[in-house]
Chain A
């Protein structure tokens, strides 16, 4: 098993391992002669230490091999053996569960072997030779043997304690980083959810806009077609000059031709639109499209819900075209809906239309629900941390993507942000260049 490490982690591990090897060899050299065996053991342990995070299983196996070799070569334990502790730690912290339990077993087996090798066997060989033991057993008491057993137990316990401590530290590290990871994953999932929600809102808004646009164009074109065809038929059949026909002085052929052109052009536009909106569901009954003239009604509607709306207009108004008028209406509607949900209802909401030469500024100013002063009924939403998480539908930012979408599609820009104790939605929409007394054509409105 190989783990992906950053070059920095790898460098650190190798550096620490090299340092251990150098220190261990220097220490040995101080006390005498450094043999091949000393060098080999130090180097082996060093490599195991260097590998402990890169490949915990390999590190554990290598540490075991070097330790066994060390015993077989009858080397004394040295500083290099300290590498065993980080290797045990790593087996618990980074390895799979099999390795973790192998590491656990290693603490006991390793401690037992180390104790036998360093204490028990030398002691037995030195003091408790077979003849001494035999004599002692016959006498019913053996002081030497008891001493050996006692020191074995002490050293074993100590070794196990040191080894197991490293191992337990590894297990704790693992548990900690796991919970950290799951927290991160949870946060990422939450972010994904919010993003998806945002995408859905934008998509829904797009669909609604598309439907509105279609209704505008379809209604007007249906009228154009009916008018043109009706006039043409009536004119051709009886020659009666109906007052719907624009100019009685025009020749019959001219009227006929121009009306046919109107009808076929309009029909083509509608066909294009139908293709464009082919996949849209159209199950909502359609009323007349609201525009600037309906803002008064809108303000009254919100007024009846307890929200005071002040409508202010400045500058000279200009024809905006029904799609942009609809955009203004929907933006104001959405901003007022947000204000109704979140703002202080005792304070009036100001809707201002400022007509410039080339653009219309629409500003909706309400109290800022997040300012935390005088929020009243909606105080649950007053803390920023609860703003988005618990109930997205009630979050203050819910309608903002939709409003931005509206403004962008109408060729303008929109910003919605708190300003001190106020919350300001401000949109800037271009006013189409004045045409010679004509309304903007539907096709222009579509591309706007």
Chain B
């Protein structure tokens, strides 16, 4: 199955580089490009990408707002949410952290290895793992340090023992395959448990779970 990819960045030359990279992969299809946040919202509504590569800093509407608008619009239409990967120049970018809180599925540095970016696109699309879990945790460590951690909501108590185990392994950044071998279950079972955990906690995807764990002092 082909993954439909959209590119959002204000630098045309940067986009054309990524266009070549995406075009080189048989399982990826570039369905559209946008140069700013506002046109990316329109683009997403028209071409229905599976994954959007979103520059976080753009003139006009930035990547954070665009992420919020795109996800809200997909919800309003009742369509499947596109996964959004935030592109940033800084490894500890508060804007990237805010974009992830707003629903982005992860962040990738603009100078990341192409293989890393390509696997991030596939990973986010399949929902089987968090992109660069340690970098994501570091990002949230950096921007939640000092702010008081709130106690977990009551929904967290409704998790079963097995679900809690899965929760903490996902929070540590393990992939479905790794969790399956740790827990001696099949990957399908892990997926089932995970989707139940996400459902109970009202979370979108596993990166949101990492953020949730961080904000409620459940990580580690």
Contacts and interface: CB of A to CB of B under 8 A. Distances in A.
Contacts of A219: 11, 89
Interface in B82-108: 89-91, 93-95
A239 to B, nearest CB: 11
Given A229-B114, A274-B91, A283-B94, A234 B11 contact: no
A236 B23 CA distance: 11
Contacts of A271: 111
A230 B111 contact: no
A221 interface: yes
A206 interface: no
Given A234-B24, A274-B91, A285-B59, A266 B111 contact: yes
Interface string B11-28: 101111111110111100
Contacts of A236: 24
B76 to A, nearest CB: 27
Nearest to B56: A285
B139 to A, nearest CB: 14
B89 A222 contact: yes
B62 A233 contact: no
A227 B155 CA distance: 47
Contacts of A283: 94-95
A222 B11 contact: yes
A234 B23 contact: yes
A234 B22 CA distance: 8
How extensive is the interface on chain A, given as a class? 20 to 34
A230 B20 contact: yes
Interface residues of B, number: 27
A440 B142 CA distance: 36
Given A285-B59, A286-B57, A222 B21 contact: no
A274 B13 contact: no
A268 to B, nearest CB: 10
A227 B15 CA distance: 9
Contacts of B91: 274
Contacts of A228: 17
A221 B23 CA distance: 21
B171 to A, nearest CB: 27
B20 A233 contact: yes
A282 B19 CA distance: 28
Contacts of B95: 283
A287 B18 CA distance: 20
A165 interface: no
Given A223-B11, A238-B24, A266-B111, A230 B17 contact: yes
Contacts of A85: none
B110 A226 contact: yes
Contacts of A270: 89, 111
Given A219-B11, A222-B14, A230-B16, A282 B90 contact: yes
B145 to A, nearest CB: 15
Given A236-B24, A285-B57, A286-B57, A225 B90 contact: no
B59 A222 contact: no
A236 B15 CA distance: 19
A179 interface: no
Nearest to B87: A222
B54 to A, nearest CB: 14
Given A222-B11, A229-B114, A274-B91, A244 B59 contact: no
B114 A218 contact: no
Contacts of A221: 111
Interface string A232-260: 11101110001010000000000000000
B24 A230 contact: yes
Contacts of B62: 285
Interface-centre pick from B14, B57, B95 (highest chain A CB count, 10 A): B14
Nearest to B12: A223
Contact of B17 (A229, A267, A274, A286): A229
Contact of A226 (B18, B25, B90, B94): B18
Interface string B98-142: 000000000000110010000000000000000000000000000
Interface in A279-294: 282-283, 285-287
B14 A223 contact: yes
Given A222-B11, A236-B24, A238-B24, A227 B93 contact: no
A229 B21 contact: yes
A231 B15 CA distance: 12
A417 B16 CA distance: 49
A339 B13 CA distance: 39
A227 B94 CA distance: 27
Nearest to B117: A229
Given A234-B24, A236-B24, A283-B94, A227 B111 contact: no
A237 B94 contact: no
A233 B111 contact: no
A267 B24 CA distance: 21
Contacts of B111: 221-222, 225, 266-267, 270-271
A335 B134 CA distance: 47
B17 A223 contact: yes
Interface of B: 11, 13-21, 23-26, 57-59, 62, 89-91, 93-95, 110-111, 114
7 contacts: A219-B11, A222-B14, A222-B110, A226-B17, A226-B21, A233-B24, A285-B62
Given A234-B20, A285-B59, 5 more contacts: A223-B13, A223-B17, A225-B110, A227-B20, A282-B90
| A-B complex: 5 closest residue pairs judged by Cβ atoms | A226-B17, A230-B20, A233-B24, A230-B17, A237-B24
